[in-house]
Amino acid sequence: MKIDTRHPVYVVAFAAVSALVLTGLIMALHAAAQSRITLNEQAMRQGAIVEILFVEPGDTPWGKPGGQLDDWQITQLFETRVREVTIAAGTEHEMRIFVAYKQDAPKGQPPIDDGVLRYAVPIGGQAFWGPIRGYISLSPDFTTIGGIVFTQQSETPGLGGEIMRPYFRNQFQGLRGTMPPPEGKYVYVGGPSAEGRENPRAQRRVDAITGATATSNAVERIVNNSLAAFMEAAQGMIRPATEEETK
């Protein structure tokens, strides 16, 4: 029997089957792409964290800082020397941080001891156009900032988006990580210069981004709030050095 392709029933059935087939193909492609996107995002996050945890060439087995490693080396470090741990578990200050070790880290929930190289603390908050998220690293005694990296931002390219550039981020390396004096801040972005050791801004200030005051202010607020939250959560890990002890 010859099928009447012009019959309304055939047209409707053909359209329905075609729609189902195309929908299935689209869903399959989306699932495959989503898996790849997830893997790429994970690789980018690991690379960002390794960059600020392994700052010096001597920190890695290959004699190169974390920011110069290839994907395989980053994966190796993450598997052997980096652990994600929970601090202040079960409290309102509970936080997940990354801990880098000088040698291979023990399996499971590793101890936080003298073998620590640096901590990577999550930072995040609202900026001018959207949320900014990333990590900032600290030395084992919390006295020195190792580096900062941003993993999410939607600021204006060429203005606030410049926070992604090394010239801005590199300013944070070596800043004081100690608890600031009363009414002081961990980090100042822009504002008056920080001349003189007694100046509360000494070793805590970075230059703001020209033409991006709102983003610069947001970064300052986000970093300070995130470090303050970490210090609350870290109570009992070690006793953070005070401002006076580091002078």
In a domain, 9, yes or no: no
Contact 152, 132 (CB under 8 A): yes
In a domain, 35, yes or no: no
pLDDT of residue 68: 94
Alpha helices in 54-123, H assignment, sequence order: 71-80
pLDDT of residue 58: 94
pLDDT of residue 239: 44
pTM for this model (two decimals): 0.80
pLDDT of residue 3: 63
pLDDT of residue 247: 47
> Which range marks the domain in which residue 197 is found?
81-246
In a domain, 41, yes or no: no
Report helix, strand or coil for 38.
Answer: helix
> Which H helix or E strand runs over 44?
helix 8-53
Among residues 182, 180, 232, which one has the least CA distance to residue 205? 180
Domain tally, the chain: 1
In a domain, 147, yes or no: yes
- Burial zone of 43 (CB within 10 Å; 0-12 exposed, 13-18 middle, 19+ buried): middle
Q: Which residue stretches of the chain have pLDDT < 70?
A: 1-7, 9-11, 33-35, 106-114, 194, 196-198, 236-247
pLDDT of residue 177: 85
Interval 175-199: pLDDT, tens: 988 888 777 889 999 988 767 666 7
In a domain, 130, yes or no: yes
> Which H helix or E strand runs over 151?
strand 145-152
In a domain, 40, yes or no: no
In a domain, 169, yes or no: yes
In a domain, 128, yes or no: yes
pLDDT of residue 246: 44
Q: How far is the C-alpha of 6 from the C-alpha of 47, rounded, in Å?
A: 59
